[in-house]
A and B are shown apart, each in its own frame.
Chain A
Amino acid sequence: MTFKAWIRTITFYELVVGMKATMSHLLHYKPITMQYPHEKRALPDNYRGMLSLLRYDDGTEKCVGCDLCEAACPSRVIRVVSAEVPGEPTKRYSKEYYMDMTRCLFCGLCVDACPVDALGMTREYEWSVYDKRQLHLNKEQLLAIGDRSFPVREKQLELQHPNVAFFNVAFKHLPQKPD
């Protein structure tokens, strides 16, 4: 053991090096912890928070019940029960829509998969609950989240023809079938 090392040992030099940051903060105190419920952080623009279902401006649900979100979901959060809209034959919608948010890992694949942009990721993250079952959300709850998080709704594209699905509305004039 050299003399230098011996001096370091008896003066607890390592401890001083280790505690350097602590010591300097002790002297120049500047808090970085946020007083969470009282103050909140600014979220990045692409923040992926709680999922929600969206509506058009006229209040109709966007979801067409295609089950693609269910297929895209890697952790089997979503369950869609699709059916024909009562009174509007051949129109498809989700009769029931469930999300088990306890499993969700907020990857956003469902939002990507949605062909009608019916799913949105809100900026909500305050979803701690005492009972896990409260995180099993149904369609009404998801729509309510969407309603409060996306006050500006997309305009419902006008359906020029009752026999046209939403997806092929990229044209203005429709050939009229002769009687």
Chain B
Amino acid sequence: MANQTTETVRLMIDGISISVPKGTLVIEAARQAGVMIPHFCYHPKLKPDANCRMCLVEIERVRKLQTSCSTVATEGMAVRTATTVVNDAHKSVLEFILANHPLDCPVCDQGGRCDLQDFSHQYTATSRFAETKRIFQKEYFSPLIETQMNRCVQCLRCVRYCDEVMDVKALAPIGRGTMTEIKSFGNHPLDCEFCGGCVQICPVGAITSRLSMYEYRPWMLKRADTICTFCGDGCQITVQTKDQELIEVNSAHSGGRNNGDLCARGYFGFHAASHPDRVTHPLIRRNGTLVEATWEEALLFVAEQTNRIKQAHGPQAFGGLISGRCTNEELYLFQKFMRLTIGTNNLDSSARYGHVNGVQAMRRVQGTHRWTVTFEDIVQADVLLLVGTNITEANPITGLKVKEAVKKQEATLLTIEALQPAVGTISNITNLSKQHLCVAPSQFGAAVLGLLKAVIEGDHVDPGIRQRASDYVSALSHAVRQIAWEDLAVSTGISSDSFAQMAASVVRGRRVVVLAGQILLRSQGGYGMCLNLLDLLLLSGKLTSPGCGFAPLAEENNDQGAVEMGAVAELLPGALDLTDQDSRDRMARAWKEELPLVPGGTLIEMVDRASAGIIKSLFVVGENPVGSLPSQIRAKEALSKLDLLVCQELFLTETAALAHVVLPAASAMEKAGTFTNTEGHAQAVRPAIDPVGDSRPDWEILSAFSVFLGAPLEYGEAKEILKEIRSVIPGYGSLGPSPIAPTADPSAIDRYVTEGYRHDVAIRYTLPPRAVRQEGTVQLGLVQSLFHSGKFSTHSKGLLQIEPSAFLQMNPVDAARFALGSGDRVRLSNNRGQFITTVKVLERVPEGLAWLPDHFAQEALRLFDCVIDPDTKVPSFRTATVSVLKAT
């Protein structure tokens, strides 16, 4: 709240004198004074509406009762909330509400935590109305959200939340007076973002979750505050369980980084952990099939095989892969296990799929491995530039921060997205943007270069940087001069004027935040684009200013943690360089053991080495290279050649199906630890249920391996590992409600602008190759769906009800061109193979592109070409050109 006035006013509430910032509402002031004023329609997140009349209070020298939720506190105000007049008013309001409210509390899921119930008890309100109660026709709202409009008190919190916070506008009040009911627009079931916000915000039982309907009563539930395991936003969720059964997920207002807001994945996706297909017993391959075994047998088998391979081929015959969904403790222990117990640097995590691009760019330019901004800076930014984020679907809660910045703080939103502004079932961030450039994902690089060219040629370069690093500025000026506006216009379809306008907006901003999403990070040349965006901030003098920064968004919940824990080949814990002697010495001192010298192989290199027979054994923790990498990489063939493949998994994935030993791992609902979210905030994960079956947390399994291999890394609980992490990386762990963002390191920037930028400037400042689009083809992009995250969420029964399978999403113009409609079967083919799927026509998909969510599309992966970044070794396989044919 730095930008708000610090002026305060003093007022009296029920005789308690309190001083609050100017502009505070009386109801908020009363809350601060410890006086609870009953209310239905008021919610701190929403604008005051004052429609329920429940919060009436008496204010001295004001003739009538006032609604405290819409009255601003003024100096010297004297408020009384418990006088007879006020009590009578509250009673009458309750009486009117109870005139229509059915007395079905015993069967209502809200019964026990219902505001109306509580106030009725408080005021012993009864209704003298003998008239019939209103009854609404029962209409099915959605498979996940249940409405019982008879219970509605018409506070319109849900409608206002859907509009003001989510920007979805899926709900509307229909009808007048007492006959007002909440409905979706149009005569169809609710089709929205399914964020669950209306369920959470409803003060009564009018809107409830159908997923756990009638399975519980609120007093039976046990709560555990933990962190959502889907995207990188790191939302705090409260998992509610009843007898080891996952019942419901909530998020408390003002709790966590998400401030109580969730998305469909967080709110309805929790059942993934309790899916019946979970691996519950260790499995060992005997005579070609996986059979159940005991933990002792499995561990002994792994230890024997590992010792045999190590003696025959040395430590470099091993490799390790870990998922970015594991906790920091597990990631740390995994890399320690690989580096010390096994003795190799061949290890990688799923951060390699894209997040490494952003982190390495930040390390190179500004010397940090984290954002220099926080979510609060996004909310307070005055210019936000989004590049390739599709933020609503990929990082919905960061998206909410952007929406808040635009809608409440009036920030200027600039977007470079492969997204068309359109009114749709889910909110579209480009609808809010002041200037939107719609660019195909393969041409994001060109659009970034256009912006840089506009900054340099529009003479917007910061005089400070021009003076300090004239060589750097002139080298970049020279580089952008090589690119003609005409070529840029052909590549991106955007004129130089638009670029100039956007550049001017960026430069004008005082607090500029650039958000780069997974579409950019995972596309070809993602590393170069990140560097170019950082160049943009440097040239406009924003990189080091407070509130400004570059923010690459993580896809998996702990991608950032994976990098910081050193679970990638080239980095040690704390994102220290493996090749740096000082860092190596520091780690060796901490671990009291020398680190392996041979540089490690990354994900693709390990697969290559496995197929070449150099790597004989692979430890895979929660990762699924066979299912995630395109067929061109031949991961399946490579992994089948291994002498020992050990998988620690929740489900029998494509990779686990090839394994020699599959060990049941506990999901994040069943273990303790920490997750680091995309902004670099480490937050505590707490177990909500006991491990399913015989499964154990991954760190326990790794610890057991090390004991069986004779080099024990023993820990009693996850906290002990965190303690060790803290000793290696000072101050790591949960540190209060919000992160303290690092500042850009001036010496790193100096290094970059004097020498660091030189070696690849020519490569980065060339336009990406332009694909000539042929008739009958579209550019297919693998995208992230709002309703899924990775493959994990496809085990969640709630999310499967919203999105049961992958659809090819297409623009109506393209669909018409191919004579396709929603629901038609379509055959996608190119020279690499073909894939049949179903079409869904969506206006937000730009013309010439088609989207395929990558959560189900195993076979579709064969259509994609894989390009490996020469610097960061990130495999990118997100776009392909395919011809489209209607299948019969």
Instruction: Please report A residues at the B interface, Cβ cutoff 8 Å.
Output: 64-68, 71, 82-84, 89-90, 92, 115-116, 161-168, 171-175, 177
* A167 with B106, Cβ < 8 A, contacts A82-B214, A162-B138, A175-B135 known: yes
The residues of B that contact A83 with a CB separation of less than 8 Å are 214-215
In the bound complex, how far is the Cα of B361 from the Cα of A85, in angstroms?
A: 57
The residues of A that contact B140 with a CB separation of less than 8 Å are 89
What is the chain A residue whose CB lies nearest that of B108? A165
Task: Judge if B150 is at the interface, Cβ distance under 8 Å.
Answer: yes
What is the chain B residue whose CB lies nearest that of A71? B219
Task: Judge if B652 is at the interface, Cβ distance under 8 Å.
Answer: no
Is B135 a contact partner of A165 (Cβ separation < 8 A)? no
A67 CB to closest chain B CB (Å) equals 5
Max chain A C-beta neighbours (<10 A), residue from B138, B146, B148: B138
B141 CB to closest chain A CB (Å) equals 11
Is A92 a contact partner of B135 (Cβ separation < 8 A)? no
Instruction: Please report B residues at the A interface, Cβ cutoff 8 Å.
Output: 102-107, 111, 131-138, 140, 146, 148, 150, 213-215, 217, 219-220
Is A90 a contact partner of B106 (Cβ separation < 8 A)? no
The residues of B that contact A116 with a CB separation of less than 8 Å are 106
The residues of B that contact A177 with a CB separation of less than 8 Å are 135-137
The residues of A that contact B132 with a CB separation of less than 8 Å are 171-175
Is B103 a contact partner of A168 (Cβ separation < 8 A)? yes
In the bound complex, how far is the Cα of B138 from the Cα of A167, in angstroms?
A: 17
Majority DSSP secondary structure for residues of B touching A: loop
The residues of B that contact A90 with a CB separation of less than 8 Å are 138, 146, 148, 213
Max chain B C-beta neighbours (<10 A), residue from A90, A162, A171: A90
In the bound complex, how far is the Cα of B62 from the Cα of A96, in angstroms?
A: 58
The residues of A that contact B111 with a CB separation of less than 8 Å are 66
* A168 with B136, Cβ < 8 A, contacts A90-B146, A163-B150 known: no
The residues of A that contact B107 with a CB separation of less than 8 Å are 64-66, 92, 165, 167
* A168 with B104, Cβ < 8 A, contacts A163-B138, A175-B135, A177-B136 known: yes
Choose from B103, B150, B220 the contact partner of A67 (Cβ within 8 Å): B220
The residues of B that contact A89 with a CB separation of less than 8 Å are 140
The residues of A that contact B215 with a CB separation of less than 8 Å are 82-83
Is A171 a contact partner of B214 (Cβ separation < 8 A)? no
In the bound complex, how far is the Cα of B134 from the Cα of A83, in angstroms?
A: 26
The residues of B that contact A167 with a CB separation of less than 8 Å are 102-107
Is A84 a contact partner of B103 (Cβ separation < 8 A)? no
What is the chain B residue whose CB lies nearest that of A114? B106
In the bound complex, how far is the Cα of B133 from the Cα of A90, in angstroms?
A: 19
A–B complex contacts, Cβ < 8 Å, 14 sampled: A64-B106, A66-B111, A66-B217, A83-B214, A90-B138, A116-B106, A163-B150, A167-B104, A167-B106, A168-B103, A171-B131, A171-B132, A173-B132, A175-B132
The residues of A that contact B105 with a CB separation of less than 8 Å are 167
The residues of A that contact B146 with a CB separation of less than 8 Å are 90
Is A115 a contact partner of B106 (Cβ separation < 8 A)? yes
Is B106 a contact partner of A66 (Cβ separation < 8 A)? yes
The residues of A that contact B148 with a CB separation of less than 8 Å are 90
The residues of A that contact B135 with a CB separation of less than 8 Å are 161, 163-164, 174-175, 177
In the bound complex, how far is the Cα of B102 from the Cα of A167, in angstroms?
A: 7
What is the chain B residue whose CB lies nearest that of A161? B135
In the bound complex, how far is the Cα of B134 from the Cα of A173, in angstroms?
A: 11
When A and B form their complex, which 10 residue pairs have the shortest distance between CB atoms, in order from nearest? A66-B106, A165-B104, A171-B132, A168-B102, A92-B107, A163-B138, A115-B106, A167-B103, A67-B217, A82-B214
* A175 with B134, Cβ < 8 A, contacts A64-B107, A65-B107, A167-B102 known: yes
What is the chain A residue whose CB lies nearest that of B111? A66
B199 CB to closest chain A CB (Å) equals 15
What is the chain A residue whose CB lies nearest that of B131? A171
In the bound complex, how far is the Cα of B107 from the Cα of A132, in angstroms?
A: 33
What is the chain A residue whose CB lies nearest that of B140? A89
In the bound complex, how far is the Cα of B135 from the Cα of A175, in angstroms?
A: 7
In the bound complex, how far is the Cα of B124 from the Cα of A84, in angstroms?
A: 31
Is A164 a contact partner of B137 (Cβ separation < 8 A)? no
What is the chain A residue whose CB lies nearest that of B133? A168
In the bound complex, how far is the Cα of B132 from the Cα of A172, in angstroms?
A: 8
In the bound complex, how far is the Cα of B135 from the Cα of A64, in angstroms?
A: 20
The residues of B that contact A168 with a CB separation of less than 8 Å are 102-104, 133
The residues of A that contact B106 with a CB separation of less than 8 Å are 64, 66, 68, 115-116, 167
In the bound complex, how far is the Cα of B220 from the Cα of A174, in angstroms?
A: 36
The residues of B that contact A166 with a CB separation of less than 8 Å are 104
In the bound complex, how far is the Cα of B217 from the Cα of A64, in angstroms?
A: 13
In the bound complex, how far is the Cα of B136 from the Cα of A177, in angstroms?
A: 7
B136 CB to closest chain A CB (Å) equals 7
What is the chain A residue whose CB lies nearest that of B107? A92
Max chain A C-beta neighbours (<10 A), residue from B103, B214, B215, B220: B214
What is the chain A residue whose CB lies nearest that of B150? A163
In the bound complex, how far is the Cα of B219 from the Cα of A84, in angstroms?
A: 20
In the bound complex, how far is the Cα of B132 from the Cα of A171, in angstroms?
A: 6
The residues of B that contact A115 with a CB separation of less than 8 Å are 106
The residues of B that contact A163 with a CB separation of less than 8 Å are 135-138, 150
Q: Known pairs A67-B217, A71-B219, A83-B214; list 19 more (Cβ under 8 Å).
A: A64-B106, A64-B107, A66-B217, A68-B106, A82-B214, A83-B215, A84-B214, A115-B106, A116-B106, A163-B135, A164-B102, A164-B135, A164-B150, A165-B107, A167-B102, A168-B102, A168-B133, A171-B131, A174-B132
The residues of A that contact B102 with a CB separation of less than 8 Å are 164-165, 167-168
A130 CB to closest chain B CB (Å) equals 30
B261 CB to closest chain A CB (Å) equals 28
The residues of B that contact A175 with a CB separation of less than 8 Å are 132, 134-135
In the bound complex, how far is the Cα of B512 from the Cα of A65, in angstroms?
A: 56
